[in-house]
Structure 1
């Protein structure tokens, strides 16, 4: 047995060496195959980006609305907020996604998990349309969403009333989701651009309570870029999500885009302790997403930026958040093997 002094010297040397970096494999839980003009770089570009970024699986959906190029606008807008022209519900977005997925080589198709989104969430016929789509391509669709309800200025640009996650039309969709064992991804802002309280929380909490057999993925945890332009950070968000996660085991949080900054990381890019504790408390309920729309260049970078936060979590939890948690919410017959 070596002398104690030698053992201590070796331990000191090992502690000074840098820890081996974790090599994460990802699932992208929030990806749009097309943009707001229903255009895309295509599946070849997406596959290349996935391979380059270590992304093994993606949730793939369309965009449920199309932005109008108004007769009075001399230049075609590049984004839905590019001008004041409206947007309209666009069901053919699901046809584009279905064709892209069905055109994949057999050895690649298992990596793609299509979510159906092309319906008007204010229309009580929506569930009938979704059922037709499910019957048209049996076994293709693995979820519903992203459903646009209470979505900043976007829903104000769409003809008709602002969709709510707790309206009667969506309640019919949730019953259908439970029947087919489909998760539902909702975009539903937790508040308005100026109210510093969870003004619209009931619109999400009511479905969580009334539909316990539906797995709900809350896009961006109820936040949005537009909210942050007016309010740098929602001080109530952490405690609100903590309560909801404790009360509703059917709630999952998509950490895409607006959640990294300013919530998960502080101004110096360091993980916030309270958010680390929340994820550790509910290790199966958080997932990562890029929220890209039709353009896939640098896709892996959108997930890699989460690594400082992931590295601060226990490794088993970090790998769940990076890859496995999204796969676990899919319909049972579609769930790939996880690394747990």
Structure 2
């Protein structure tokens, strides 16, 4: 009796779900539409994964560098760290993102919040590129980033000077961001792979202090997988994040994947009480993302991976971190538009 067996399986599955299980409507605030070769699974696959996993909104950006397949390399690398060939700044990444969004209908497009990233952070012409893109695609761009500055091995492979969050070129970008009310996402590692102190933190803290009108998103709170390969856990990270949040109301923290472990969750997979307390103290300043690069099959796994931590927060705070905190820092018009749509969706669900 297959139908009876199926019914019993369904009843068992439903009984295993807690009655008060939370239904998160995720906003992925850190997604790259392309990879380091400027290739992508495409918008149809991305939308399918979003719908499948309850991801309502996505911050979408390109990747500001492209990996070179060097003449001396017999096999095409699969990742930027696959061999010793350089990566180089690639401004067409913004055009790829813009073109993909232009193919969508209006309802689909409202779910995406594009950030531009295709410029060299050490080039004092960078702000002119940003202004040019704003004029070429009026009303499209909602932020700037992810801007790669200190990024361990990626920095070492990038042609040209070491990019810094406090370069003169970036200060010009921040003034432009303030002019257009655009948030800025910065990848600026807090330290190097081996130094057990916040070696590079002043490079981020300077613009936080000097540009109080700019909303900064600190990608991964300054961590990276490569740092963790050499230092399993940065013991000073929590205290520095707490200090910065207390000093700079324009700072927001991206908790995407390198923050989930070993910070938000301990070695047993349990939520860390110190990070829970910190998020509760600053409930509007944390947000989650997948940080996928051009491949979207793991999108749901990355986003639902935060559920253990989210479930340990007060429910109202958890929903902010999972969804609305990112939307709240978008340019005013886009924020109102997205919040209105989210309210309408919630009302329809009831």
The residue number in structure 1 matching 2:12 is: none
The residue number in structure 1 matching 2:276 is: 276
State the alpha-carbon separation in 2 of the partners of residues 103 and 332 from structure 1. 25
Q: Name the SS for the 1:108 alignment partner.
A: helix
Matched, 1:183 2:196: no
Please give the per-residue CA displacement for 1:137-174, whole angstroms capped at 9, x wherever unaligned.
Answer: 11100000000001111111111111000010000000
What is the CA-CA distance between 1:18 and the residue it aligns to? 4.6
The residue number in structure 1 matching 2:53 is: 53
The residue number in structure 1 matching 2:82 is: 82
Q: After TM superposition, what 4+ stretches of structure 1 lie above 2 angstroms from structure 2?
A: none
Structure 1 regions of 5+ residues with no counterpart?
A: 1-16
What is the CA-CA distance between 1:216 and the residue it aligns to? 0.2
State the alpha-carbon separation in 2 of the partners of residues 56 and 19 from structure 1. 23
Matched, 1:114 2:114: yes
The residue number in structure 2 matching 1:5 is: none
The residue number in structure 1 matching 2:206 is: 206
What is the CA-CA distance between 1:300 and the residue it aligns to? 1.3
Structure 2 regions of 5+ residues with no counterpart?
A: 1-16
Please give the per-residue CA displacement for 1:263-285, whole angstroms capped at 9, x wherever unaligned.
Answer: 00001100000000000000000
Q: Name the SS for the 1:147 alignment partner.
A: strand
Please give the per-residue CA displacement for 1:23-65, whole angstroms capped at 9, x wherever unaligned.
Answer: 1010000000000000001000000000011000000000000
The residue number in structure 2 matching 1:245 is: 245
RMSD after superposition: 1.1
State the alpha-carbon separation in 2 of the partners of residues 169 and 237 from structure 1. 27
What is the CA-CA distance between 1:105 and the residue it aligns to? 1.4
Matched, 1:322 2:322: yes
What is the CA-CA distance between 1:129 and the residue it aligns to? 1.0
**Residues matched between the structures, number:** 324
State the alpha-carbon separation in 1 of the partners of residues 156 and 186 from structure 2. 17
The residue number in structure 1 matching 2:6 is: none
The residue number in structure 1 matching 2:160 is: 160
What is the CA-CA distance between 1:298 and the residue it aligns to? 2.8
1:1-340 matched pairs, under 5 angstroms: 18-335=18-335, 336-337=338-339
When the two structures are superposed, what TM-score results if normalisation uses the length of structure 2? 0.91
State the alpha-carbon separation in 2 of the partners of residues 200 and 41 from structure 1. 35
State the alpha-carbon separation in 1 of the partners of residues 167 and 34 from structure 2. 27
What is the CA-CA distance between 1:19 and the residue it aligns to? 4.6
State the alpha-carbon separation in 2 of the partners of residues 200 and 179 from structure 1. 27
Please give the per-residue CA displacement for 1:53-94, whole angstroms capped at 9, x wherever unaligned.
Answer: 100000000000000000010000000000000010000000
